[in-house]
């Protein structure tokens, strides 16, 4: 099989819902991925931050294989010996009262929306079917019908209607707009603390703090989607901690299982989670023992290897180095932790293709942005190596 053979199989038999770079990755270790010819590439996407711990982390792989031999799935009809331990670990790590485990990020977002609406009705007293949720323009929260119902990206919605009602869209980073949008029927403000898919957009200082205060004043839940920004990516355990806010609920996924398995969760206060009673919501695979064993190891790695601190320290280093690149095509370089955007004056795709030739894999985000988000285990000399290649491609 050649690279062309693989591309042709995908073209013929797979839905064309992605436009990947033409590299066929066969194995990976830490920050490095290897193609079919054994050529190595520095992974600067980390599967949209799902592999913050690095590819095939030995400790997580061991937890996975050990658990796979013992017990993989009971369904929640019975209990298992991994689920409660993960719940306790999530509580100890995040300080949130309770967790509800799902699989993909989108499912955890749906869980948050359900919790928010039900809280709005049962606790806040909003008439049934009237609860409104405020979200931000250029958000990315996943791909289900309900979630794309409040996307402002036309392509995400095109042809998929009818859509779910009950959402109000306001500009991101504008607390006054939030204040104006709140009505007596508002149950929740759902926000990414830093907008990832929109191009790593960092809101103005104080935005989240003010948003939190507005929510408190109007008895509105403040929920952050930390699926991509959380678990160390932005240099804090959660990106919202840059402003010291305390959300009523936090959505996590991606790195929660170190890239080995889809595991997501809604973390929430006892009051919010209290709206769920047996039969209200569920998932066959949510909270399964294999997922829980993998997530436990993935969280241990984040803590034991100091990945949050690493992200903060090395992220600043990487950002400062990238800012030294003098190029007419670079409009702005910004970031938090190891989550860096190089915004260009034109399309980013050709530069991503050029970086591939140089041995760096990254993905353009919203046309003009190169997103640099390597696994958090990256070393200083690997950053230096990457910066020289990025410099070469951007100044050619």
Query: Is residue 365 a contact residue for ligand PLP (CB under 6 A)?
Result: no
Please identify, using beta-carbon distances, which residue of 41 and 261 lies nearer to ligand PLP: 261
Please identify, using beta-carbon distances, which residue of 48 and 150 lies nearer to ligand PLP: 48
93/306 Cα distance (integer angstroms): 13
Q: Residue 80 region, left (φ>0) first, then alpha (ψ -120 to 50), else beta?
A: beta
Query: Is residue 188 a contact residue for ligand PLP (CB under 6 A)?
Result: no
The residue range among 29-37, 121-129, 222-230, 357-365 that interacts with ligand PLP, by the rule CB under 6 A, is 222-230
Query: Is residue 196 a contact residue for ligand PLP (CB under 6 A)?
Result: yes
Subset of 37-76 contacting ligand PLP (CB under 6 A): 48
- Give the nearest distance from C-beta 142 to ligand PLP in angstroms: 4
- Give the nearest distance from C-beta 198 to ligand PLP in angstroms: 10
Looking at the DSSP assignment, which residues form a beta bridge with residue 371?
341, 363
Please identify, using beta-carbon distances, which residue of 138 and 185 lies nearer to ligand PLP: 138
115/159 Cα distance (integer angstroms): 28
Query: Is residue 289 a contact residue for ligand PLP (CB under 6 A)?
Result: no
| 345's tokens | 């004056």
- Asked if 269 contacts 97 with a C-beta cutoff of 8 angstroms, the reply is yes
Query: Is residue 222 a contact residue for ligand PLP (CB under 6 A)?
Result: no
Which residue in the set 30, 54, 105, 199 belongs to the binding site for ligand PLP (CB under 6 A)? 105
The residue range among 38-46, 99-107, 302-310, 350-358 that interacts with ligand PLP, by the rule CB under 6 A, is 99-107
Q: Which of 289, 269, 266 is nearest to 100 (CA)?
A: 266
| Burial of 358 (C-beta count, 10 Å sphere; 0-12/13-18/19+) | middle
Please identify, using beta-carbon distances, which residue of 253 and 337 lies nearer to ligand PLP: 253
Q: Please give the residue whose beta carbon sits closest to ligand PLP in the complex.
A: 105
Cα 82-88-93 angle, rounded to 5 deg: 125
Which residue in the set 192, 212, 248, 343 belongs to the binding site for ligand PLP (CB under 6 A)? 192
Which residue in the set 227, 234, 301, 373 belongs to the binding site for ligand PLP (CB under 6 A)? 227
Query: Is residue 225 a contact residue for ligand PLP (CB under 6 A)?
Result: yes
Catalytic site positions: 140, 225, 254
**Distance, C-alpha 258 to centroid of its chain:** 12
Which residue in the set 151, 228, 241, 365 belongs to the binding site for ligand PLP (CB under 6 A)? 228
The residue range among 25-33, 55-63, 105-113, 364-372 that interacts with ligand PLP, by the rule CB under 6 A, is 105-113
272/268 Cα distance (integer angstroms): 6
Cα 205-209-211 angle, rounded to 5 deg: 105
Query: Is residue 294 a contact residue for ligand PLP (CB under 6 A)?
Result: no
Query: Is residue 141 a contact residue for ligand PLP (CB under 6 A)?
Result: yes
Query: Is residue 189 a contact residue for ligand PLP (CB under 6 A)?
Result: no
The residue range among 60-68, 138-146, 166-174, 351-359 that interacts with ligand PLP, by the rule CB under 6 A, is 138-146
100/94 Cα distance (integer angstroms): 14
| Burial of 36 (C-beta count, 10 Å sphere; 0-12/13-18/19+) | middle
DSSP collapsed to 3 states, 1-48:
CCHHHHHHHHHHHCCCCCCCCCCCEEEEEECEEEECCCCEEEECCHHH
> Cα dihedral angle (177, 181, 184, 185), rounded to 10 degrees?
-130
| Burial of 279 (C-beta count, 10 Å sphere; 0-12/13-18/19+) | exposed
- Give the nearest distance from C-beta 227 to ligand PLP in angstroms: 4
- Give the nearest distance from C-beta 258 to ligand PLP in angstroms: 14
Residues lying near ligand PLP in the complex (CB under 6 A) = 48, 104-106, 109, 140-142, 192, 196, 225, 227-228, 253
């Amino acid at each position: 099989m050649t690279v062309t053979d693989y591309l042709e199989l995908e073209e013929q038999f797979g839905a064309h819902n992605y436009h990947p770079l033409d590299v066929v990755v066969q194995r990976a270790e830490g920050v490095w991925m290897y193609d079919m010819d054994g050529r190595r590439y520095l992974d600067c996407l980390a599967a949209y931050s799902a592999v913050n711990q690095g590819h095939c982390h030995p400790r997580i792989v061991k937890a996975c294989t050990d658990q796979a031999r013992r017990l993989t799935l009971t369904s929640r009809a019975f209990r298992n010996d991994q689920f409660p331990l993960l719940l306790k670990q999530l509580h100890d790590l995040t300080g949130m009262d309770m967790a509800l485990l799902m699989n993909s990020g989108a499912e955890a977002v749906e869980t948050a929306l359900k919790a928010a609406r039900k809280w709005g009705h049962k606790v806040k007293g909003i008439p049934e079917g009237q609860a409104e949720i405020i979200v931000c323009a250029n958000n990315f929260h996943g791909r289900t019908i309900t979630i794309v119902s409040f996307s402002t990206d036309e392509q995400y919605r095109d042809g998929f209607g009818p859509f779910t009602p009950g959402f109000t869209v306001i500009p991101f980073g504008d607390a006054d707009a939030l204040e104006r949008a709140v009505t007596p029927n508002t149950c929740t403000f759902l926000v990414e603390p830093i907008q990832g898919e929109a191009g790593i957009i960092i809101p103005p200082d104080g935005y989240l703090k003010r948003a939190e205060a507005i929510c408190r004043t109007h008895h509105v839940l403040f929920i952050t989607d930390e699926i991509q920004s959380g678990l160390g990516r932005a240099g804090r355990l959660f990106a919202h901690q840059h402003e010291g806010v305390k959300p009523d609920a936090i959505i996590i996924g991606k790195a929660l299982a170190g890239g080995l398995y889809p595991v997501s969760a809604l973390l929430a206060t006892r009051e919010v989670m209290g709206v769920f009673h047996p039969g209200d919501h569920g998932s066959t695979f949510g909270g399964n023992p294999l997922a829980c064993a993998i997530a436990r190891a993935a969280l241990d790695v984040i803590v034991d290897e100091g990945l949050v601190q690493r992200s903060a320290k090395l992220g600043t280093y990487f950002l400062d180095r990238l800012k030294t690149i003098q190029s007419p095509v670079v409009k702005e370089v910004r970031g938090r932790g190891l989550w860096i955007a190089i915004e260009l004056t034109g399309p980013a795709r050709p530069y991503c293709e050029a970086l591939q030739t140089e041995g760096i894999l990254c993905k353009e985000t919203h046309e003009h942005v190169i997103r640099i988000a390597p696994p958090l285990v990256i070393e200083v000399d690997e950053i230096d190596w990457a910066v020289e290649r990025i410099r070469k491609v951007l100044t050619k």
